[in-house]
Chains A and B, each alone.
Chain A
Amino acid sequence: MDRPNPITPQLLAGFGIAIVFAAVVPHLVSDFTSFQFTQAMAYGIALLGLNILTGYNGQFSIGHSAFYAVGAYTAAILLYHFEWNHYATLPVAALVAFAVGFLFGLPALRLEGLYLALATFAFAVATPQLLKFDAFEHWTGGVQGLFVPKPEPLIEGLSADQSLYYVTLAIMVLLMAVAWCLLRSRSGRAIMAIRDNPIAASTMGINTALYKTTTFGISAMYTGIAGALSVFVTEFVAPDAFNFFLAVNLLVGSVVGGIVSIPGVIFGGLFLVFVPNFAQDISRAYPFVPPPWAIFGIFLILAIYFVPFGVWGAVERALAWWKRKSAGLGG
């Protein structure tokens, strides 16, 4: 049987080109644009978590903003109250988010489809309020949030924004590679088997409960790391940043990029950062066009209509078509 995600020379070549391109970007654009790309990559990592859960394992979540907040606040609290090194907070944020995700996955196991979606929704709406809750205020900073400065550049000659861009890029590539290895392993096939037919999967001897909760934990871990990176980027956390709108946005990014894909998350992240800005720019430039969020909606509908499997789904289909065509010509 073919493994999912086979390694091909084309894949390696494409990967190499993408890395080289990503590496030169911060030297071609302004610090502000690098900052936007870094934001997009942080979103991309969160989307990766959502894709593993929803796209590959078939569990719905509209509450990933909560795991994003868990990661963000873990990093912020360690930075603000304990003055940790920025990058040392990342593994802790990952662990805490994993633990929260795993624990949340336990009761969620009894819930399927829409009911699970509602449970995660409840988690998402509760999070901003919990962060403002007086008992935690000493740690979370309450409504005012916490300010944490950006990490210093790692290499002399780079600006803080450029340095953070490279760090985020490296982490994203690493996490994508981990996800890719996970999903083409035996465990990955089990994760997907549970999505495709849970009864058949458990008949084959897959421990459905363990796989589902662990997948939930891994998904939350990815999103938590993204949340921690987002703190480095914006230098600030406040409860209002992690509202339900973020949860929906993450789902939008996942679907636009391609929810059953790994590279698609890059396009999803770019969509989340640049399309609202673009919509606002054209709304500002031409008074006769509708307001920005209406334009965003139009872009979203266009994306779903023209690339129903997400951007990466469209790329895969185009590659398959090209392969068939060249094979046909050759024969």
Chain B
Amino acid sequence: MHIRKLLAAAAATALLAGTAQAADMTGITDTTIKIGNTNPYSGPASVYSTIGKTIAAYFKMVNEMGGIQGRQVDFISLDDGYSPPRTVEQVRKLVEQEQVALLFQTLGTPTNSAIHRYVNAKKVPHLFVATGASKWGQPDKYPWTMGFQPTYDVEGEIYAKYVLENVEDPKIAILFQNDDYGKDYRDGFLRGLGDKADELVVSMLPYEVTDPTVDSQILKMKESGANVFFNITIPKFAAQAIRKSCEIEWKPVHFLNNVSSSVGATLTPAGLDCSKGLITAIYMKDPVDPQWKDDPGFKEWVGFMDKHMPGSDLTDVNYAYGYSVARLMHITLDGCGELSREGIMACAANLKGVQLPMVLPGITVDTAPDDFYPIQAEQLSKFDGERWVAFGGIIDASK
């Protein structure tokens, strides 16, 4: 009798364990799939709200065309005002009350940091987050969180590869902003140089964002005899650095981080003549660049914008970004055999060679269970005095 009871209890436990291990189907029914998102529709970062609106318009279009695997997408995008405590509240609302299947494109570095552990504890897919920090690709520590765009450190790595392959006897100077952003770029660059970093880098100087100028750093770098300059600065300081090195006739191979690649905000104030020959890395098609006029991806995006978001400002690159990343989510779910939280995560970690409409041709999304950085390639561009001209092939930092 006693043994029987024990056996029954054991069987019951086994049964419970079995159900617990079954796939988590939260947010997914035969006819719908719920996707949660937070975006700053109000507050200091509300310029990014166009991304959330574009994604919503995209899924509306998908629903009109029959949905994903026959399921209508219920895209719930809540305003967090770029305030981390609001993000925590809204994400808990999405996960616990709305019972979404997954979170997609939650925007911002501090905001995503606030929910990073929570979503991983809850085992909710936290996919293609909208931030350039490097911490979103740690599958061993945070198996439910995945980034999207090339990270700052990946960009740094790309410049390093180019230097090693193309510059004879490089002596490198690095100027960097003394914060997370600057250090992310710097560390990626040093990693790209590999073992030789110590011997190749002849000058590495920080600046504070509160400094009035970076002139003294530029003078010191010239004195160091460097022939390569990695300029990790925000537009104001980038313009100063370009102008100063031009004035003192220091002409290294000059890499400008993508953050400051805007012609209007950086290069015009620095002087377009002084800016000739600068090198930066890009991964998206610039909507104002005439070379994409007849490109199928560009035309597809313009067609979508005309039909689903008429009257929008097509020079805003965030519309192109939102469209491309929504397409990636669509592709991930559409090709996914097992639509459960675990299944979706597995599918997101097995994307191979996905080309997105507004991402440069040849730059594809590739992920693996141990690689949570979807886009890792960029293309170098040189400034010709008027605009950035892409050159060389696509450089993939993952290879």
Q: List residues of chain A with CB under 8 Å of any chain B CB.
A: 30-32, 35-36, 39, 134, 137, 142-145, 147, 149, 230, 233-241, 243, 245, 273, 277, 280, 284, 291-293
**A32 lies within 8 A of B93 (CB):** yes
**B109 lies within 8 A of A240 (CB):** no
**A238 lies within 8 A of B113 (CB):** yes
Q: List 13 A-B contacts (CB under 8 A).
A: A30-B96, A35-B89, A134-B210, A143-B110, A143-B179, A143-B180, A145-B84, A235-B117, A236-B85, A238-B84, A238-B113, A238-B114, A243-B43
What's the Cα separation between A39 and B88 when bound, in Å?
11
The 8 closest A-B pairs by CB, nearest first: A32-B96, A236-B114, A234-B85, A238-B110, A234-B88, A238-B84, A241-B85, A241-B84
**A31 lies within 8 A of B88 (CB):** no
- Min Cβ gap B55→A in Å is 15
Q: Does B162 contact A (CB under 8 A)?
A: no
**B114 lies within 8 A of A145 (CB):** yes
What would 20 more interface pairs be, CB under 8 Å, given A147-B113, A236-B84, A273-B89? A30-B96, A35-B92, A134-B208, A137-B179, A142-B179, A143-B110, A143-B180, A144-B110, A145-B84, A145-B110, A145-B114, A147-B116, A234-B114, A238-B113, A238-B114, A240-B84, A240-B110, A245-B81, A277-B93, A280-B78
**A143 lies within 8 A of B109 (CB):** yes
Which of chain A's residues have a CB closer than 8 A to the CB of B43? 243, 245
**B42 lies within 8 A of A230 (CB):** no
**A234 lies within 8 A of B110 (CB):** no
Q: Does B373 contact A (CB under 8 A)?
A: no
Q: Does B318 contact A (CB under 8 A)?
A: no
Which of chain A's residues have a CB closer than 8 A to the CB of B85? 39, 230, 233-234, 236, 241
Q: Does B212 contact A (CB under 8 A)?
A: no
A-B contact count (CB 8 A): 82
Which of chain A's residues have a CB closer than 8 A to the CB of B89? 35-36, 39, 234, 273
Q: List residues of chain B with CB under 8 Å of any chain A CB.
A: 41-44, 76, 78-79, 81-85, 88-89, 92-93, 96-97, 109-110, 113-114, 116-118, 178-180, 208, 210
Which of chain A's residues have a CB closer than 8 A to the CB of B210? 134
Which of chain A's residues have a CB closer than 8 A to the CB of B116? 147
Which of chain A's residues have a CB closer than 8 A to the CB of B180? 142-144
Of the candidates A35, A39, A236, A292, the one whose C-beta lies within 8 Å of that of B113 is A236
- Min Cβ gap A303→B in Å is 20
What's the Cα separation between A238 and B42 when bound, in Å?
18
**B88 lies within 8 A of A235 (CB):** yes
- Min Cβ gap B76→A in Å is 8
**B96 lies within 8 A of A280 (CB):** no
Which of chain A's residues have a CB closer than 8 A to the CB of B82? 240
What's the Cα separation between A293 and B118 when bound, in Å?
27
What's the Cα separation between A245 and B110 when bound, in Å?
17
Which of chain B's residues have a CB closer than 8 A to the CB of A293? 42
What's the Cα separation between A243 and B110 when bound, in Å?
14
- Min Cβ gap A205→B in Å is 45
Nearest CB in chain B to that of A135: its residue? B208
